[in-house]
Amino acid sequence: MSTNQFKGTGVALVTPFKSDLSIDFEALKQLLDHVSEGDVEYLVVLGTTGEAPTVTAKEKNEVIEFVLANNPKNLPVVYGLGGNSTKWTIDQLDLVKDYDLAAILSLSPYYNKPSQMGIQKHYEAIADASPFPVILYNVPARTSSNVTAETTINLSKHPNIIGTKEASGNLAQCMEIQQNTPDDFILISGDDPLTLPMMSFGCVGAISVIANIQPKTFSDMIRYGLAGNFEEANKLHMQMMTGYDLVGKEGNPVSVKTGLEALGLMKRDVRLPLFEGSKELLRHFKMYLGDK
């Protein structure tokens, strides 16, 4: 299957909330228009940045339906679906099987700390059951277990596993994956600041947090990188260094929602156990974005 639609920038969309913490669909529409105007390549809903752990199953379906119905450029939509129970994750596939999704992005099992063979079998079971292509998602800082290069290479042989979002921060591991997986298996960055360095050895783009705020700057950087023009890509990369820092300052998605409030696109409300970004962070975002 073709993976060209995932070459470029995927936006890890936030889920906006009103002050009563119900989903703010008006703000979500504004965000969809904002990132589409930035010429990103695809959308990722209900991942880490979308606060998936605190969004109910009913709300998830409402969000997916809304994004699909309010997608100005009809961009491919990827759905975040992962958990620490393989059976539960497979059962959730049944709730979204009828949606027009391009792929699912599946987080490695957290809390359980499975062995590498357990991780491999988990993903193989999901890929066997999924009506959509599967993109692996490795983020050890959140899951407390790393999907090793060897495990990813083994999983790349499955016909329904098309790539991996690597947020390990381990460039040597990413290089090993890139070197030893099939040509049509895609390496996607899950760390905005590391995306351009990763593109130097074959990464095809990113599922980005900062692209919620600066979709055009980030996606232009990716396009320059894909074209081999690293001089121009690096100029844009350096322009966003302060932004990268701010987006990570108080955690994700707390910080990016604070930046989006600074842009006037939504309020920075999050659901507990997350807590809203500080007024100081909001002030710094306004200063940063005021220069753009």
| Catalytic residue IDs | 137, 165
The residue among 208, 206, 151, 141 whose CA lies nearest residue 177 is 151
Tell me the residue type at 78: V
69 Cβ neighbours under 8 A, 6+ residues apart: none
Q: How many alpha carbons fall within 13 Å on the CB side of residue 7?
A: 14
Instruction: Say which DSSP state 168 is in.
Output: S
The residue among 239, 235, 225, 214 whose CA lies nearest residue 187 is 225
Tally of CB atoms within 10 A around 65:
11
Whether the CB-CB separation of 234 and 195 falls below 8 Å is answered with: no
- H-assigned helices in 57-214: 57-69, 86-96, 116-129, 140-143, 149-155, 171-180, 195-199
Integer Cα distance of 103 and 97 in angstroms? 11
